[in-house]
Structure formats: C-alpha cells, structure tokens
Amino acid sequence: MTLLKMFGDFQKDTPEERNVRFGVREHGMGAICNGIALHTPGLIPYCATFFVFTDYMRGAMRISALSEAGVIYVMTHDSIGLGEDGPTHQPIEHLVSFRAMPNMLMFRPADGKETAGAYKLAVLNRKRPSILALSRQKLPHLPGTSIEGVAKGGYTISDNSTDNKPDYIIMSTGSEVEIAVKAAEELTKEGKTVRVVSFVCWELFDEQSDEYKESVLPEAVTARISIEAGSTLGWQKYVGSKGKTIGIDKFGASAPAPKIYKEYGITAENVIAAAKSL
C-alpha cells in the first residue's frame, strides 16, 4: 500500500513514471533499490513488504548498509499483531537482527507523529539505509510523542516524577508504547511516579550524549521495564541487571491481535505486575 498514487508504472514505454512493480521477489527489489540509490543521484528509492519477508531480502539490505546506500525499507505487519496469518508471517527475531546490523537505522514508530519523524530522518540519511517497521493494527495518536523526539532515538513521552527520580521507567517501541502508557496511568493512580520512554530507534539513542542518556534513563533508577512484541534480546542494556523485559522469545501463533497479545502477555497488566515485582 505504498504506491505513489499520482504516478503510473515505470515501463519501457513510460520511463517518466515512478512506481516499479517488483512482483514477489524481495531480493531483486532490494538490489534494484540499491542500484537506484548508488547510481542515480537525486532519486531516493523506497520499497515495501511484510517485515518477516526481510529474510528473503537480507542480503540486499546488508549491501545497502555496507555500501552506504540510503534505501528506505517500509516494512509492514511488524509483529504477532498481524494475526491470523500465523507464525510463518509473524516476525520475532527480526528487530534485534537489524539492530545488530552496522550502519542500519531500525525505526519502530508508535504513531503517526513518530512515523513522520522516522520518514524525515530516513530521507535525510543518504548514507545510511533505514527500516520503518509498521504495525498492521490501528494505533492512536499518543500525547507526548513528537516528530522531533524521533531524532533522539529514545525520549520521554510522559512523566509525573520530579528531580529525574521516577519510581519506574517503562520503555517500549511501536504498537506496545500504547500499552506502556496504559500501564503507567494505572500505576500513577496508585500513587507511583512513572516515566514512559519511546525507544523508536536504538541506534540514534546510542549516539546521544551521556548527559542526554542520563536525563532519560537516570542511573539511580533501576526499576525499569521494557515491553516489545518481539525478542527480548538486547533490551538488557537498557533495563539493566535489576530490570524486567517483557517480550516474545518463541514463535507466534494464529489468532486475532487482541487475543494473541493477551495469550503472550503483551499487556498493561503484565507491565504493572512486573513493576510491582521490582
């Protein structure tokens, strides 16, 4: 669903048009986008498929990173939330695998504002390819998110604490940020101070100053919880040895998004229980 609707299809007889019909051939799609990025100055290529199908395109995506080709990869259906297609189509290990890839920006925006911010940075980064992992399920626009905040990689979207000393820090990405916010609201009703951090791009957060990182994740606050509908691998560097990670370290299943989220513990109730255990 990423066609440039005001343009037709690029063909031999219509070279002025701008949509390329790649067909179901992910590796070829990524390779062609690399060629456009590296050999056609002025054109910024993007391509799109389900996030899980990056498995077929990973070689081309790695070449994007290695060759400093600023391709924009729009990856939809980014979690078990895609539902009834089942475990073959539900990415589990994919987020962490691309976070491990050098020179790749792995964005997982929480709403429309963060998506706009991620797209802006993807366009500006001409020597670093970007992945935008987007949910299938509808998401609300969240108070506190911003286009500007995405540039920091991770930033506070809600906080009722003072002196940089919240009782809990809940961090999340994408569709689970909404869940983190709901959990924070319940904990706040019980008299706790809670900070919610959207970690839209780990790579950009890691590039920030030590002072900024301390302003978001103060070293003195060890009661930290992460929630993400994917592998928990890697979150430990942010939650620390005393924190809790909520995620999915097994394959998915076939079920509607609300049901499978509940069955797999990707819920506000689970976040609250984890917080109270710290």
> Annotated active-site positions, please?
26
Say which residue the tokens 């949509």 belong to.
19
Q: d(Cα 145, Cα 109) in Å, to the nearest integer?
A: 10
Sequential DSSP letters for 2-40 = ---TTS-B-BTTBTT--B----S-HHHHHHHHHHHHHHS
Helix (H) or strand (E) holding 187: helix 177-189
Q: Assess contact for 80 and 248: CB atoms under 8 A.
A: yes
Sequential DSSP letters for 86-153 = -TTT--SSHHHHHHTSTT-EEE--SSHHHHHHHHHHHHH-SSS-EEEE--SS--PPPTT--TGGGGGS
Q: d(Cα 171, Cα 192) in Å, to the nearest integer?
A: 16
Between CA 166 and CA 169, with CA 167 as vertex, the angle to 5 degrees is: 70
Can you tell me whether residue 74 is helix, strand or coil?
A: strand
